[in-house]
Amino acid sequence: MKISELALREPVMIGGDATVADAAALMASSGVGSVIVLDGKTPVGIVTDRDIVTRGVARSYPPDGRIDGLMSMGLIAVDADHDLADLVHVFRDHAIRRIPIIDHDRVIGVVSLDDIVVHVTDELSTVSRVLAGQIMFPHATDEARAPSPD
């Protein structure tokens, strides 16, 4: 399965010179837990709600301080035409929880580790329903296909 087939969330981005309060407000209004930080048009980092708490609030970083002071620097990204398995490898190799997805060098979405868990759970649920049907009605398809004795 290609990454592009996942239901990607729109990337939410903010300039590095925005304030922490601006970023928090953007997260709240967009219903996301992270924003990609830009330097001009180039992504340079990512900030999560947890970063704001642990690097900001816990260390008395001012709400009007620049958001790039709290961000995780650098972004590991993956092309949208890669397989989902590649994405899982990247999550594992880099110990990160969110990966921007790129199409023609543009960020088109962000996939979180939670998204992968939800996707895999959905797939398992589908397989489980098929399996349950086969267990409950083991010969249903055989009978349907069996030739008539007449």
Q: Which residues bind another protein (CB under 8 A)?
A: 42-45, 71-79, 89-90, 93-95, 100, 102, 105
> How far apart are CB 61 and another protein at their closest, in Å?
16
Sheet containing strand 13-15, edge to edge, reads 13-15, 34-39, 42-48, 72-73
CB 110 within 8 A of CB 98: yes
> How far apart are CB 87 and another protein at their closest, in Å?
10
Closest of 5, 1, 33, 25 to residue 112, by C-alpha: 33
> How far apart are CB 140 and another protein at their closest, in Å?
45
Compute the Cα dihedral for 5, 107, 77, 28 and give only its sign. Answer: negative
Residue placing its CB nearer to another protein in the complex, 95 or 144 = 95
